[in-house]
Amino acid sequence: MLPYLMAFKWRVIFALSCLILAKVANVTVPLYLKDVVDTLSMPASLLVVPVAALTGYGLARLSASLLGELRDAIFARVVQGAVRRVARSVFEHLFGLSLRFHLNRQTGGMSRDIERGTKGIGFLLNFTVFNILPTLFEIVLVAGILIGRYRSSFVVVVLGTIGVYIAYTLVVTEWRTVFRRSMNELDSRANAKAIDALINFETVKYFNNEGFESRRYDGNLASWEASAIKNQVSLSLLNAGQGAIIAAGVTLVMVLAARGVVERTMTVGDVVLVSTYLTQLYAPLNFLGFIYREIKHSLADMERMFTLLDEPPEVADRPDAATLSADAVDVRFDTVAFGYDARRPILRGVDFHIPAGKTVAVVGASGAGKSTLSRLMYRFYDVDAGAVRFNGTDVRSLSQDSLRRHIGIVPQDTVLFNDTIYYNIAYGRPEATREEVIDAARSAHIHDFVMGLPDGYDTQVGERGLKLSGGEKQRVAIARTILKNPPVLIFDEATSALDSHTEKAIQSELAAISANRTTLVIAHRLSTVVDADRILVMDQGEIVEAGTHRELLERGGRYAGMWRLQQETEGSMA
């Protein structure tokens, strides 16, 4: 936490100064109260109003209160600023992690970890600085006063009670921490399952699996319930033990004070002084037990969040990474080998070239490795062998930010933000003007559809764009890419969700925007790639044929067979 606090070091110093002064004022209150009581205990003939003592008492209490409030006001920015900086660091770090990490994560559980962790930071800072430290400081001050004014037996009983209390609290709290960690784990797991089921609401309905999901969720909650019960029982045991220790300590001190009064070695004011100090010490000390427990819980909560910060990025920029800046880009796959798992290679020595401004299409059966090409161009993964080169430079030598600014993609599975249509199109270039956004929508043939909606461009698309049809989502994705206006385009089954009429209209637009741009088209329907400058046929991670549409048909190989099969299928459907 220290790096996040250093940005507010002067506020921290000022707040700690207020804290120390407040505790000094608080410790002087019982001294003034003793003087008041002793003066008022005198015989009636000698009785006077202890003006000085009463004034000091009032000023000490006022100072302790005002300094405490000033401390809280000053430290508020420290706490909230640290929470904000940590949360932002985690958020930015998550976007720096590889696609592999995000494909394996569970969004619901991770979001709960971050939520608990950020709350734990605020609790940790507030109660460590404002409760543990001042309580320990106050114990030292009170012990010094007791040593200076009374018999050593008072100090032995007070400090002994405190020592036993702290030792008991530490031991039992350490034992209880395992229950809290278990609760967090089970809570995150249950939340992840619930979020996953809600995100896939339609799939659950399609297969009548509401009961199955409910039972699965309840099973996780049952485990959490058992762990929560253990947590509460152990908490009750801790509280009972702490209460017994404090009660024993208070009783012993009061017995010593009463004996001192009987023996006339102490006054009534001394009894009041000792009892007041006991109240001032044991009340926060009792709270200290709660604080320590909660700090341990907060640390357990923060542990999972900071584990995310410790997750190393699989793909990272080199220290000397160059910045790509070009209006035209030449792309080359130089004998590329790659596999998501070392035991299962996806690409085997793939070698091809997309000259600047040209269009290359890749076709083949599902699982041939076509979509992997786009992920390597974006550098979501690094190749196992060979290289992907932009303008002759290995993409591993380029900064990821500059590389991705030069690429636009229309993916097969378009996922939209739970926001408006306008927001989702403008996401391609957030600084674009409204006129530019609307022009991009016109180019994607979605403007007329949007204007026919009751809320127009302010229409909410729902989570993951579920309020739009597949074709409508894909046209939003096309508009978004048109707005980005990059020199390299990737169309990954860009028209797969469109009807034939809309597909033909969109195809002409895609051809127009890909003119003079380096374009990779990944397609299943061969009719969409007949005009490509070069067509590659992939099978099991290898390029088995390459040429123009006419050349491949004349060759009578794999592509020609796929073409005949699709033509027969479309003819029978017609």
For position 508, what pLDDT does the model report? 73
For position 48, what pLDDT does the model report? 56
- Flag residues of the chain having pLDDT under 70: 1, 4, 38, 40-50, 98-99, 102-109, 112, 130-131, 282-290, 293, 494-503, 505-506, 569-574
Tell me the CATH class for 2-310.
mainly alpha
3-state helix, strand, coil in the chain (%, to 5): 65, 10, 20
pTM listed for this prediction:
0.62
Task: Return the amino acid letter for 488.
Answer: V
490 CB burial (10 A radius; 0-12, 13-18, 19+): buried
Q: How far is CA 70 from the centre of its chain?
A: 32
Distance (Å, rounded) from C-alpha 336 to C-alpha 329? 19
For position 406, what pLDDT does the model report? 92
DSSP states of 401-414: HHHHHTEEEE-SS-
- Please give the structure tokens belonging to residue 69: 């409030």
Nearest to 523 by CA among 374, 334, 376: 374
Which DSSP state fits 321?
Answer: P
Decide if 190 contacts 219 (C-beta within 8 A).
no
Nearest to 365 by CA among 548, 566, 524: 524
For the stretch 464-468, contacts whose Cβ atoms lie closer than 8 Å and that sit 24 or more positions apart, written own/partner, are: 464/199, 464/415, 464/416, 464/418, 465/414, 465/415, 465/416, 465/417, 465/424, 466/202, 468/416
For position 574, what pLDDT does the model report? 47
For position 52, what pLDDT does the model report? 78
Distance (Å, rounded) from C-alpha 50 to C-alpha 53? 5
- Please give the structure tokens belonging to residue 8: 């507010």
Distance (Å, rounded) from C-alpha 122 to C-alpha 127? 9
If residue 518 lies in a helix (H) or strand (E), which one and from where to where?
A: strand 518-523
Task: Return the amino acid letter for 371.
Answer: S
For position 451, what pLDDT does the model report? 92
Distance (Å, rounded) from C-alpha 332 to C-alpha 392? 8
> What is the residue whose two structure tokens read 């008991």?
168
For the stretch 169-175, contacts whose Cβ atoms lie closer than 8 Å and that sit 24 or more positions apart, written own/partner, are: 169/238, 169/242, 169/288, 169/289, 169/292, 169/293, 170/292, 172/234, 172/237, 172/238, 172/241, 173/238, 173/292, 173/293, 173/296, 174/296, 175/234
For position 18, what pLDDT does the model report? 82
Half-sphere exposure at residue 222, Cβ-oriented, CA atoms within 13 angstroms: 6
Decide if 509 contacts 444 (C-beta within 8 A).
yes
Across 382-413, b (16+ Cβ under 10 Å) vs e yields: bbeebbbbbeebebbbbbbebbbbbbbbbbbe
